[in-house]
């Protein structure tokens, strides 16, 4: 098998495009950082020497024939796109940081509980998959359903509140979101307000 014939294309980790097209995604800054770190030889190829300013870079890339006027317009558009994208990312991050995960424990019968986990959808979590993981991890029934506010929540049978809380913390930490609040709500039957945790099933 000859390995040489196929091109090995590098895809940018940030925007998933081949690095040629990073400039069109509006995430150019982060793309460049990534490329510099991981593929310095490509970085010099596309962006010239690293010390140059962004303007020099794009003008170098733009040795093209579409005329200066159009080129200028294109650059302007790209810049606008970039700022837009950056703002969007910031907004999203802020939204993520300000939102919180709610784990609710509800009593079903005396000794049995269900957990309802909501507020995860902001964090790009695949709910169905997570439900599956929970189901096999805790050996209980677990499913995704819609709650009163028409938002998706994970319903988990069995009293495993602490373990779930821990798991979600690690999950969010993996995504680089350490400071997200995870709130636990304990709703118990009115007759028994004492702190007697049911034995874990």
Partner 1 sequence: MFRKFTKDDVHSRSKVKSSIQRTLKTKLVNQYPQLEEVIDELIPKKSQIELIKCEDKIQLYAVDGEVLFFQKFDELIPTLKLVHKFPAAYPTVQVDRGAIKFVLSGANIMCPGLTSPGAALPDAPGFEEESIVVINAENKDSALAIGKLMMSTEEIKSVNKGHGVEMIHHLGDPLWTFNVE
Q: Which residue ranges make up the site for partner 1 (CB under 8 A)?
A: 1-3, 5-9, 15-18, 20-21, 24-25, 61-66, 70-71, 74, 77-78
Query: Taking the complex as a whole, how short is the minimal distance between the CB of residue 17 and partner 1, in angstroms?
Result: 5
Q: Other C-beta atoms within 10 Å of 137: how many?
A: 15
- By C-beta, is 53 or 63 nearer to partner 1? 63
Query: Taking the complex as a whole, how short is the minimal distance between the CB of residue 122 and partner 1, in angstroms?
Result: 19
- By C-beta, is 10 or 33 nearer to partner 1? 10
Instruction: Mention every residue, 6+ apart, whose C-beta is less than 8 A from residue 92.
Output: none
Query: Taking the complex as a whole, how short is the minimal distance between the CB of residue 51 and partner 1, in angstroms?
Result: 22
Q: In whole angstroms, what is the distance from residue 121 CA to residue 123 CA?
A: 5
Query: Taking the complex as a whole, how short is the minimal distance between the CB of residue 148 and partner 1, in angstroms?
Result: 24
- By C-beta, is 27 or 104 nearer to partner 1? 27
Q: Other C-beta atoms within 10 Å of 196: how many?
A: 8
Name the residue among 144, 136, 149 with its Cα closest to residue 117.
144
**In angstroms, what is the C-alpha Rg of the chain?**
25
Query: Taking the complex as a whole, how short is the minimal distance between the CB of residue 28 and partner 1, in angstroms?
Result: 13
- By C-beta, is 58 or 140 nearer to partner 1? 58
Query: Taking the complex as a whole, how short is the minimal distance between the CB of residue 16 and partner 1, in angstroms?
Result: 7
Instruction: Mention every residue, 6+ apart, whose C-beta is less than 8 A from residue 143.
Output: 131, 154, 155
Burial of 143 (0-12, 13-18, 19+ CB in 10 A): middle
Find tokens 């995860």 and name the residue. 120
Q: In whole angstroms, what is the distance from residue 164 CA to residue 182 CA?
A: 11
């Amino acid at each position: 098998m000859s390995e040489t014939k196929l091109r090995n294309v590098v895809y940018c980790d940030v925007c998933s495009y081949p690095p040629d097209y990073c400039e069109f995604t509006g995430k150019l800054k982060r793309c460049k950082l990534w490329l510099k770190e991981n593929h310095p030889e490509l970085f010099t190829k596309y962006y010239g020497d690293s010390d140059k300013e962004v303007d020099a870079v794009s003008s170098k890339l733009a040795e093209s024939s579409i005329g200066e006027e159009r080129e200028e317009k294109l650059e302007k558009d790209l810049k606008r796109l970039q700022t837009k994208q950056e703002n969007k990312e910031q907004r999203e991050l802020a939204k993520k940081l300000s939102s919180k995960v709610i784990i609710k424990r509800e009593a079903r019968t005396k000794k049995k509980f269900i957990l309802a986990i909501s507020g995860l959808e902001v964090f790009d979590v695949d709910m169905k998959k997570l439900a599956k993981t929970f189901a096999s991890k805790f050996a209980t029934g677990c499913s995704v359903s819609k709650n009163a506010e028409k938002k998706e929540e994970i319903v988990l049978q069995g009293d495993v509140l602490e373990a779930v809380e821990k798991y979600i913390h690690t999950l969010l930490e993996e995504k680089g979101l350490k400071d997200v609040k995870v709130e636990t709500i304990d709703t118990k039957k009115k007759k028994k307000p004492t702190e007697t945790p049911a034995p874990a099933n």
